[in-house]
């Protein structure tokens, strides 16, 4: 309908399942798996599935999850009962131990299925990259970057990104992980702290004690113990409220471009948390859909195989806009799709404004004051360049 055809010379795969979207964290919890339905509805209304290989995701197996997560934690996650079920009175401390059952990481019906589907979608994407059957693999159901080996954290229970990168490392010598979620990608950073085969780069709001998770300062570049090959391989770009598209793109292209030249990754894992968009319920930045998408376009331009993950994103209509637009960038249709949301889009009324690219004023009543000075951005860039001098070509 919009002349969307398969891209010439490369393959894009889309990994999803409607089963994942049926889960609920609770009535007013900010994480709404339903945003994946809204994304898929927009992707489909624009005719994008014609241009991709579409795969129905399976659940990851216990053994697959066990490649990163401890058996203790997984065993508890499998049996963990939702709030309205009787508790495991034998083990009252376990929930505390694993950070489960609080308001951030509630125990809800079907939790283990939800987690294994999210991981399954990212693992399938990684396998398609490893076998060269896809050049860009899209896993919007993944991107849960806070989960630790033995602990849930910040709405994340299973770290599908770590699992997918471990898969990529079977065939790729060096993987570059990039995280544009408004929160610090602490779980992925920590998992690869002691290897030089993964470089992690997170852009995030940084205000310890005020904004979750509080880690990811400019000077935090991986443990600098004497024989740690992972030292200098964690890059953090701490930002303040109100950063604009122009500033973000300047930082992103400078930093990622320099890292690409210096580190020479053979594959990219890009976490596209949409909570960095203007008007996000939890986010603080002033990014528009175009500015967020420019990161995906730039990574694609590097010509490396890439997995694109979801992540945060708490204003579902904007999450769907960004991820649909980024899907169009992946297939090279971003210049062909009309800006007006198609008439026949299911749940079209949820978008409020009928454009794919709302203005800042349409996204929020009052744009946030920009607290990022040009001087600070230059200092960040110069610190990152300094770190990269320690990284062997």
The correct pick among 21, 59, 104, 179 for binding Ca ion (CB under 5 A) is 179
The kind and range of the H/E element at 45 are: helix 35-45
User: Which residues 40-79 are close enough to bind Ca ion by CB under 5 A?
Assistant: none
The correct pick among 94, 128, 183, 232 for binding ligand VJV (CB under 6 A) is 183
State how far the Cα of 299 lies from the Cα of 129, in Å rounded to an integer: 15
Interface with Zn ion includes 189 (CB under 5 A)?
A: no
The entry of Ca ion, Zn ion, ligand VJV, none near residue 202 (CB within 5 to 8 angstroms by kind) is Ca ion
For 327-331, the CB contacts below 8 A with 24+ separation are: 327/14, 327/43, 327/48, 327/52, 327/138, 328/46, 328/48, 329/293, 329/296, 329/297, 329/300, 330/12, 330/52, 330/136, 330/138, 330/296, 330/300, 331/4, 331/6, 331/7, 331/12, 331/48, 331/51, 331/52
Q: How far is the CB of 236 from Ca ion (least distance, A)?
A: 9
Q: In whole angstroms, how far apart are CA 351 and each of 211, 320, 360? A: 28, 9, 15
Tokens 């110069």, residue?
382
The correct pick among 14, 192, 212, 323 for binding ligand VJV (CB under 6 A) is 212
Quote the Cα angle for 164-42-334, to 5°: 80
State how far the Cα of 161 lies from the Cα of 226, in Å rounded to an integer: 28
Interface with ligand VJV includes 187 (CB under 6 A)?
A: no
Tell me whether residue 104 or residue 326 sits nearer to ligand VJV (CB atom): 104
User: Which residues 149-188 are close enough to bind Zn ion by CB under 5 A?
Assistant: 181, 183
Among 5-13, 58-66, 197-205, 313-321, the segment contacting Ca ion (CB under 5 A): 197-205
Residue 292 near residue 322 (C-beta atoms within 8 A): yes
Tokens 């113990």, residue?
225
The correct pick among 33, 154, 305, 316 for binding ligand VJV (CB under 6 A) is 154
The correct pick among 104, 151, 245, 275 for binding Zn ion (CB under 5 A) is 275
Which residues are CB-neighbours of 309 under 8 A, at least 6 positions away?
122, 125, 139, 140, 142, 143, 160, 161, 164, 269, 270, 271, 272
Tell me the chain's radius of gyration from C-alpha atoms: 20
Among 60-68, 72-80, 151-159, 226-234, the segment contacting ligand VJV (CB under 6 A): 151-159
When CB distances to ligand VJV are compared, the closest residue is 312
The correct pick among 1, 9, 90, 103 for binding ligand VJV (CB under 6 A) is 103
| Catalytic residue of the set 145, 146, 172, 204 | 146
Interface with ligand VJV includes 230 (CB under 6 A)?
A: no
Axis crossing angle, helix 35-45 with helix 316-330, rounded to the nearest 10 = 40
Interface with ligand VJV includes 160 (CB under 6 A)?
A: no
Interface with Zn ion includes 280 (CB under 5 A)?
A: no
E-strand ranges in the chain read 12-16, 53-56, 136-139, 175-179, 198-205, 234-239, 267-271, 306-309
User: Which residues 14-73 are close enough to bind ligand VJV by CB under 6 A?
Assistant: 26, 28-30
Interface with ligand VJV includes 156 (CB under 6 A)?
A: yes
The entry of ligand VJV, Ca ion, Zn ion, none near residue 157 (CB within 5 to 8 angstroms by kind) is none
Q: How far is the CB of 271 from Zn ion (least distance, A)?
A: 9
146 is catalytic: yes
The correct pick among 141, 230, 312, 316 for binding ligand VJV (CB under 6 A) is 312
Number of residues that bind Zn ion (CB under 5 A): 5
Binding site for Ca ion (CB under 5 A): 179, 181, 185, 202, 204
Binding site for ligand VJV (CB under 6 A): 26, 28-30, 103-104, 144-146, 154-156, 181, 183, 212, 273, 275, 282, 311-312
Catalytic residue positions?
A: 146
């Amino acid at each position: 309908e919009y002349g969307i055809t398969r891209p010439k010379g490369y393959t894009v795969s889309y990994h999803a399942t409607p089963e994942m979207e049926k889960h609920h964290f609770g009535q007013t919890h900010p994480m709404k798996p339903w945003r994946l339905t809204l994304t898929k509805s927009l992707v489909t209304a624009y005719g994008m599935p014609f241009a991709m290989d579409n795969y129905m995701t399976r659940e990851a197996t216990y053994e697959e999850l066990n490649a990163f997560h401890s058996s203790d934690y997984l065993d508890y996650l499998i049996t963990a009962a939702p709030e309205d079920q009787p508790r495991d009175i034998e083990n009252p401390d376990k929930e505390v131990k694993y950070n489960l059952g609080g308001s951030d990481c509630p125990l809800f019906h079907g939790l283990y299925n939800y987690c294994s589907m999210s991981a399954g979608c990212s693992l399938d994407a990684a396998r398609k990259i490893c076998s060269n059957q896809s050049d860009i693999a899209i896993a919007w159901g993944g991107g849960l970057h806070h989960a630790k080996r033995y602990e849930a954290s910040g709405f994340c229970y299973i770290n599908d990104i770590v699992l997918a990168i471990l898969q990529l490392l079977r065939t790729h010598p060096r993987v570059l992980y990039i995280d544009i979620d408004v929160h610090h990608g602490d779980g992925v950073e920590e998992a690869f702290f002691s290897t030089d085969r993964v470089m992690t780069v997170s852009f995030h709001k940084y205000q310890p004690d005020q904004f979750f998770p509080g880690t990811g300062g400019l000077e935090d570049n991986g443990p600098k113990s004497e024989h740690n090959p992972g030292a200098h391989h964690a890059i953090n770009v701490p930002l303040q409220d109100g950063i604009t598209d122009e500033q973000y793109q300047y930082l992103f292209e400078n930093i990622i471009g320099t890292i690409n030249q210096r580190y020479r990754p053979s594959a990219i894992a890009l976490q596209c948390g949409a909570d960095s968009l203007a008007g996000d319920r939890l986010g603080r930045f002033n990014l528009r859909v175009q500015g967020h998408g420019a990161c995906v376009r730039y990574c694609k331009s590097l010509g490396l195989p890439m997995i694109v993950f979801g992540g945060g994103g708490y204003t579902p209509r904007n999450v769907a806009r960004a991820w649909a637009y980024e899907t169009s960038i992946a297939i090279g249709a971003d210049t062909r799709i009309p800006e007006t949301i198609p008439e026949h889009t299911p749940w079209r009324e949820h978008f409020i404004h009928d454009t794919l690219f709302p203005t800042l004023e349409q996204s929020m009543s009052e744009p946030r004051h920009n607290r990022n000075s040009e001087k600070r951005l230059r200092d960040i860039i110069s610190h990152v360049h300094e770190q990269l001098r320690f990284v062997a070509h």
